[in-house]
Structure formats: structure tokens, C-alpha cells
Amino acid sequence: MKFLFLFLFLVALTGCEKINEIFLEEDLLQRPPAKRCADCHAEIYKAWKESRHAKAWISEHFKQESENYSKLKCLPCHAPHQVDPLEKPLLRVERRHEGVNCVACHFKEETKAMHGPYKVWSPPHPSKEDKNYTKSEICAGCHRKTYKEWKLARVQTTCQQCHMKVKDITWIMDKFPFLLFHTRKPLHDHTFPAGKATPKDLKTFLTEEGLKIVNVGIPHNLPTADQGNPKLYIIAEVYYQNGKKRVIRKILSPQSNTALRYLEPYNIKIPKYEEVEKVVLKIYRRLAWKKERELILVDELKPFKLAEK
């Protein structure tokens, strides 16, 4: 408490600018390591550490896919120097092992300040309110393909609304007593979850034209990736009235250009439709960097005509 009064006294005495100078921590303007940011933003750091962004460079999957970092074109997005809206970043020189780290997204060379969505007074480092952080365009420099798909979907929902949801209304910096000088704000999820489609996101129909699957809930292709190759596995067990069974398998992926487009039906031809009794449909997904498949939908469909009877 004494410290607080002393601080307020100093502010009154010298003004905010002087305080900025006194409390400025020079190293924060020298592109510090992510751990340094954790001194004041421990919660955000903890979340980021769990994220794919933190593993963007060191992930075994990336190491393998980039042939031990020899595919140079891939590298800038896995260790960007500065993330700007719609711009493909340059490859960072220092601490590439941190992947998409704090300074890559928040520190701007032009202003020598930390940018973010809020207007804050932060004496240890200059801060700039930057509304780009609330828009999908900030993600588009690296997630180009997904951004284009999202644009085609023509929805209002931004990347951040699904992949950086508000976790809490709290202090975005959590170092006592400095947090007392801030108001609580929405704290966005810095684990950047990939999200998982649910049965509600997929509509299925069985008609004469075939088995139709429509992505009605995810406003970009499902699955989506620029260079990675996440997959959907479709297994349709077709049961015929004569007791025979046929299994149709499909893999949908961004790299084979077969991913489910938003609101665009994907059609699987069902041979001898007239004789079909039912179709048991299972859809699994596999994230690009994972081995295991996860079930996202099980459905049993009857031919349209039979259902009418």
C-alpha cells in the first residue's frame, strides 16, 4: 500500500511522461525472449506456451516437413520477425525456437512499442492501441489460404472470435501491485485452439444424387491449412436391402483440394441408391500435427424415399 501511495505521489509530482521514463525497462524494447514478458503477463505466457504458435519452430512435425529447416519458404511464418495485417512476415534472426512469440505479434519496429487491442498505460514499455488485433487480417499474413476461405464465407465472425475467445474479464498484466493501475479487460485465449467441428456444424442428407455433407458451422474450409495437411476421414457404410454391405471411404484434405467448403454440399455418390436400406456415416478428423483420429460425427441416414413411406 505504501508503494501505491508513493507511486501516486510520484505521478502527481512528475507527470505521466516522467513516470514512463523512470519505469521504462529498456530491454523490453530490445525484442526480449517470451519468458521476459511473463514477468508481467504470466497468464498469457502460460497460455501461449501451450499453443501451437509456441511450437511452430520446434515441433518435430515441422522439423520433418521442412526437411530439417531446409525449405526456406516455410520458415518465416514459423519464426516471424513482425506480424502485420495481410503481409507475409520476414524470418526472425533471433530465438527462432520460440516460434510465433510475443514480440513477433506485438512489437512493432516502426513505433518501438508493444501493440495490442487495448489502450493501456504501461510505463515499462510504450504501448499502442491497434484495432488490427481485433481483425482477421492480422492472421492473414501466414494463414493466407484460410483467410481467403473465410473471406469467401462472408461472415462477420473473425478469427479471434473462435480461436482467441475471451477466457475471463481480468487484468491482462498480472504483476502486483502494477495491476492495480489497470482496469480489468477481456483476456483472450492465447492457446489459439484449433477448434473442433461438432455434429451441429455438419448437415448430412441422403438423396438420389448421393450422400451430401454440408459444412454449415465453420466459416472456412474444413479442414483448413496453408501447408499443413489436416484431414477428415469419411466412412460411409452402405447397407442394401438384399443384406449386402458396401463401405465407401474418403479422405478430405486441404492439400488435395477436397476440404468441405462453407455451405457448399460435398457429394458422395452411392451406387444402386434404389436398393439402399440405410447408410451409417462416421466422420473423423486428424489435426495436421497429430497421429490420432478423433470422431466428430456418427449419423444414420435412410434414403429420402424410404423415409417418406
Q: Note the residues at the interface with another protein (CB under 8 A).
A: 64-65, 67-74, 145, 227, 229, 231, 233, 248-251, 253, 255-258, 269, 271
Axis-axis angle for helices 2-14, 16-23 (nearest 10): 120
For the chain, list the strands marked E by DSSP.
107-108, 113-116, 127-129, 166-170, 185-188, 202-207, 210-215, 231-240, 245-252, 266-268, 276-286, 294-301
Smaller CB distance to another protein: residue 114 or 232?
232
How many other β-carbons are positioned within 10 Å of the β-carbon of residue 89?
Answer: 19
Q: Alpha-carbon torsion 160, 164, 166, 172, what sign?
A: negative
Smaller CB distance to another protein: residue 26 or 274?
274
Q: Residue 161 contacts by C-beta under 8 Å, 6 or more apart in sequence?
A: none
Smaller CB distance to another protein: residue 113 or 270?
270
CB of 76 to another protein, least distance (A): 11
The CA-atom distances, in angstroms, between 245 and each of 170, 186, 238 are: 56, 53, 6
CB of 231 to another protein, least distance (A): 7
CB of 269 to another protein, least distance (A): 4
User: Per the structure block, which three cell numbers stand in for 290?
Assistant: 497429430
CB of 264 to another protein, least distance (A): 14
The CA distance from 30 to 23, in Å, is 16
Smaller CB distance to another protein: residue 127 or 146?
146
Q: Coil, strand, or helix at residue 211?
A: strand
CB of 232 to another protein, least distance (A): 11
User: Per the structure block, which three cell numbers stand in for 46?
Assistant: 502460460
- DSSP β-bridge partners for residue 113: 108
The CA distance from 270 to 246, in Å, is 10
Smaller CB distance to another protein: residue 71 or 112?
71
Smaller CB distance to another protein: residue 35 or 73?
73
Smaller CB distance to another protein: residue 156 or 257?
257
CB of 68 to another protein, least distance (A): 4
For 189-263, list the strands marked E by DSSP.
202-207, 210-215, 231-240, 245-252
CB of 260 to another protein, least distance (A): 14
